[in-house]
Structure 1
Amino acid sequence: MKLLDLIVDEAASIAAIRRDIHAHPELSFQEVRTAELVTTKLTEWGIPVYRGLGRTGVVGIVKNGTSPRAVGLRADMDALPMQEINTFAHASKQTGKMHACGHDGHIAMLLAAAQHFGKHRNFDGTVYLIFQPAEEFGGGAREMIKDGLFEKFPMDAVFGMHNWPGEAIGKFAVAPGPVCASSNEFKIIIRGRGTHAAQPHSGIDPVPIACEIVQAFQTIISRNKKPIDPGVISVSMIHAGEATNVVPEMCELRGTVRTFTLEVLDLIERRMQKISAHVCAAHDASCEFEFIRSYPPTVNSQAEAEFARSVMASIVGEENVVVEKPGMGAEDFAFMLQSKPGAYCSIAIGDGTHRAAGHGAGPCMLHNPSYDFNDEIIPLGATYWVRLAEAWLAKHPT
């Protein structure tokens, strides 16, 4: 690996910052302490800062020369509402809050790149360091955009990166096209007529109606959309009834829908609404249908994904840059990619053996109470950010 010496030399101090952030996790739109820490460090390194985009977002502005070209590098900052079971010294000090997705590491890698930019600006143009709130819940990227991210800081492209547990250190993954699915939620309330369970004929039972709807939803996936277009409908919650001898008045269904394209999402929403309404009508029940679109699909642009791949290969070699496999998880960097060309990639953090002292019993997987970011990859991630920005501003046309 061709790492930048200055970043390697400062790795221990950046790792200490990462562990401090890990010990003090903050949930979506509550990243006040984290934003303050980021601001303090950027200011210390001579980088101007703009605060308050998307409530708690921070943008560092690194300029050099006279070129109007600009590129954005993004790291997310929020933690998850879950209890950590690790016992090492930097484990979460906040009950019910944990950096279980590695956003503390994402901050650290971008800070390490910022520290390098504070001393060496080997480019002509502007690098915007985007520290984004609320990736997990609330769409912080969308809120930063609403607050004028791309108007206040006009950039030609934007790039994001996420850690990747389970693969050997020194590997990256990136690909053009969809890499994460859209994330959407639905709530359906079926209203029947309650009655005694011994006299079902005198009421309208919403439970079998709900079962019929759940079964019919799967025909959308198998019979309405094209087989080659991915899509998932998961009814994950069913609530009805309070007593065993009472036919309930209502039944509530909740769940999620995930797709890689908005066209498939439109189809699924339309069919779900029609099925729900007509099945209920067939049984003389009423239906309330609510569909909430949370995050759109994360779709990398072709040129920017290939550009990112070339930078990765220059650092770790072609054999260590693999094709990113699309996953049904969601990522709100999608909002930024709807507005700007760019690419979202993965960086491998190893098999979890870095947690030997004090980790929980579970695997080092994302959203797991035993998870911890691997500080060993901070220099690699930071080197990628620096080389990507330098290469983009040096070679890429506006």
Structure 2
Amino acid sequence: MESVTQETDLQSIFTEIDNSFDEIVSWRRYLHQHPELSFEETETAKYIADKLEDFGLVVKKNIGGHGLIGILTGAQAGKTIALRADFDALPIEDEKNVPYKSLNPGVMHACGHDGHTTALLATAQTLSKYREKIKGKIIFIFQPAEEQPPGGAKFMIEENVLDGVDYVFAAHLDSKVPIGKASVGAGYKMAAVDKFEVKIQGIGGHGARPQDSVDSIVIGSEIVNSLQKIVSRRIDPLESAVVTIGVFHAGSAFNIIADTAKLEGTVRTFSESVRKQVKEEIYSIVEGITKGFHAHFEIDYLHGYPALYNHLEESALVQNLLSDVFSEENVIDMDASMGAEDFSYFLLEKPGTYFKVGSQNEDQNTQYPHHHPKFDFDERALLNIEKSFVKIVAHYLF
């Protein structure tokens, strides 16, 4: 009898969610017009806090920077569920021709974080009306600085944001998947991301007298070529890894041998042992080549986000729950990606899962990839994220 009552309650809540569409779209478009970069999200944090306080939640601010949480305590004791959204934007010029185009030049919500924040705010508003049915507590985590390592998740966790939490969940819009579908999957689904910078110190000189110089460009070129062989010749072919050089700066004139060169690159891996091995190989290659050419080097290596691992039991549960929201055939397996996501830090601390919700329709404007200057999405996906969160909360706390 209890399950029948819960299902009736959920249908009523879902109808309420559908009826709130215009309101939450207005929130999303306001956030889209007022984006802020990672670690600079002061006004966005204030906007979120004001909403949460209006909903009657206990709000704690300035957690790990501009992060904040809203706490909703039910009428009865029970488990504590955490739901997380990110709210930083990217240094991209908004090229869309829409009324809600970014008003901040060179800054844009090009990854859907405005949507994630809106959907979580809407979830908080909806569930705040059902305190008497909630058996436990919900922590609504609004995290800054997802886009820029070392990210905001790590700092929020260091300030004990997960104390007392039993499970943690997050959703991400997906412009590759049609509206009305969701993807869920267990295991490693997003890669660890590291960044490295190599500075090569040679000896500059005249382009016509190379014998008097130590050519940093030649050395850098050897290093770039050799680093590409780490994955193909040093890593087990059954493992996954990427080593990419994205920056090579050197030289000032056509007839001068450059004394210095700088390389910057990224490493993506799933396995921690492979992650460690790739780092060691980079140091070994750079040291060997520079020594062979009588040059010197410095390496600055930043360990970024760990690989995102979705827990088995919680992923299976969410897949089952979302089948009721979207239908079984519309919940698909999540593909693994070499992209990175600092929600991985949360999943290192607590069981949970990270899932994606389709956001494209037949309109080309909803099909641009994330981080594209024309990125946009079907705003009905906001309702789908909210319903997904409510379904998860209801399973544990209703």
Q: Name the structure 1 match of 2:5.
A: none
Within 1, Cα distance between the matches of 2:293 and 2:176?
50
Match status 1:367 vs 2:360: no
Q: Name the structure 2 match of 1:137.
A: 148
Match status 1:46 vs 2:56: yes
Answer with 206-215 or 233-242: which moved more.
Answer: 206-215
Shift of 1:374: 2.2
Q: Structure 1 pair 39/352, CA: closer, same or farther in 2 (3 Å)?
A: farther
Q: Is the 8 A contact 1:354 1:374 kept in 2?
A: no
Q: Is the 8 A contact 1:364 1:370 kept in 2?
A: yes
Counterpart secondary structure, 1:149: coil
Q: Superposed, which structure 2 residues align to 1:173-188 within 5 Å? A: 173-188=183-198
Within 2, Cα distance between the matches of 1:281 and 1:352?
57
Match status 1:345 vs 2:355: yes
Within 2, Cα distance between the matches of 1:164 and 1:299?
18
Within 1, Cα distance between the matches of 2:73 and 2:374?
40
Q: Is the 8 A contact 1:218 1:233 kept in 2?
A: yes
Shift of 1:305: 0.9
Q: Name the structure 2 match of 1:359.
A: none
The one-character-per-residue Cα deviations of 1:293-326 (angstroms, maximum 9, x if unpaired) are 1211111111111111111111111111111111
Aligned partner (choices 273, 281, 287) of residue 271 of structure 1: 281
Q: Name the structure 2 match of 1:126.
A: 137
Counterpart secondary structure, 1:166: strand
Counterpart secondary structure, 1:189: strand
Q: Name the structure 2 match of 1:90.
A: 100
Counterpart secondary structure, 1:267: helix
Answer with 116-125 or 9-18: which moved more.
Answer: 116-125
Q: Superposed, which structure 2 residues align to 1:21-40 within 5 Å? A: 21-40=31-50
Q: Is the 8 A contact 1:166 1:351 kept in 2?
A: no
State the TM-score, normalizing by the size of structure 1.
Answer: 0.93
Q: Name the structure 2 match of 1:383.
A: 387
The one-character-per-residue Cα deviations of 1:79-103 (angstroms, maximum 9, x if unpaired) are 1111101121111111111111111
Aligned partner (choices 201, 214, 228) of residue 224 of structure 2: 214
Q: Superposed, which structure 2 residues align to 1:124-203 within 5 Å? A: 124-138=135-149, 139-151=151-163, 154-203=164-213
Match status 1:296 vs 2:294: no
Within 2, Cα distance between the matches of 1:352 and 1:279?
52
Q: Name the structure 2 match of 1:392.
A: 396
Counterpart secondary structure, 1:52: strand
Q: Is the 8 A contact 1:197 1:247 kept in 2?
A: yes
Query: Which residue type is aligned with residue 350 of structure 1?
Result: Q
Q: Name the structure 1 match of 2:122.
A: 112
How many residues were matched structurally? 386
Counterpart secondary structure, 2:176: coil
Identical residues among aligned pairs (%): 34
Q: Structure 1 pair 125/256, CA: closer, same or farther in 2 (3 Å)?
A: same
The one-character-per-residue Cα deviations of 1:240-297 (angstroms, maximum 9, x if unpaired) are 1111111111111111111112211100000100110011111111111221112111
Q: Is the 8 A contact 2:173 2:381 kept in 1?
A: no
Q: Superposed, which structure 2 residues align to 1:308-323 within 5 Å? A: 308-323=318-333
State the TM-score, normalizing by the size of structure 2.
Answer: 0.93
Shift of 1:67: 2.5
Shift of 1:202: 1.4
Which ranges in structure 1 are unaligned for 5 or more consecutive residues? 357-362
Q: Name the structure 2 match of 1:251.
A: 261
- Deviating beyond 3 angstroms after TM superposition, the runs of 4 or more aligned structure 1 residues are none
Counterpart secondary structure, 2:337: coil
Q: Name the structure 2 match of 1:17.
A: 27
Aligned partner (choices 91, 111, 122) of residue 101 of structure 1: 111
Q: Structure 1 pair 205/162, CA: closer, same or farther in 2 (3 Å)?
A: same
Answer with 30-39 or 89-98: which moved more.
Answer: 30-39
Q: Is the 8 A contact 1:194 1:203 kept in 2?
A: yes
Q: Is the 8 A contact 2:35 2:107 kept in 1?
A: yes
Counterpart secondary structure, 2:146: coil
The one-character-per-residue Cα deviations of 1:24-67 (angstroms, maximum 9, x if unpaired) are 11111222222222222222222221111122112111111343
Q: Is the 8 A contact 1:71 1:155 kept in 2?
A: yes
Which ranges in structure 2 are unaligned for 5 or more consecutive residues? 1-9
Answer with 74-83 or 374-383: which moved more.
Answer: 374-383
Within 1, Cα distance between the matches of 2:97 and 2:166?
44
Answer with 191-200 or 58-67: which moved more.
Answer: 58-67
Counterpart secondary structure, 1:374: coil
Q: Is the 8 A contact 1:76 1:107 kept in 2?
A: yes
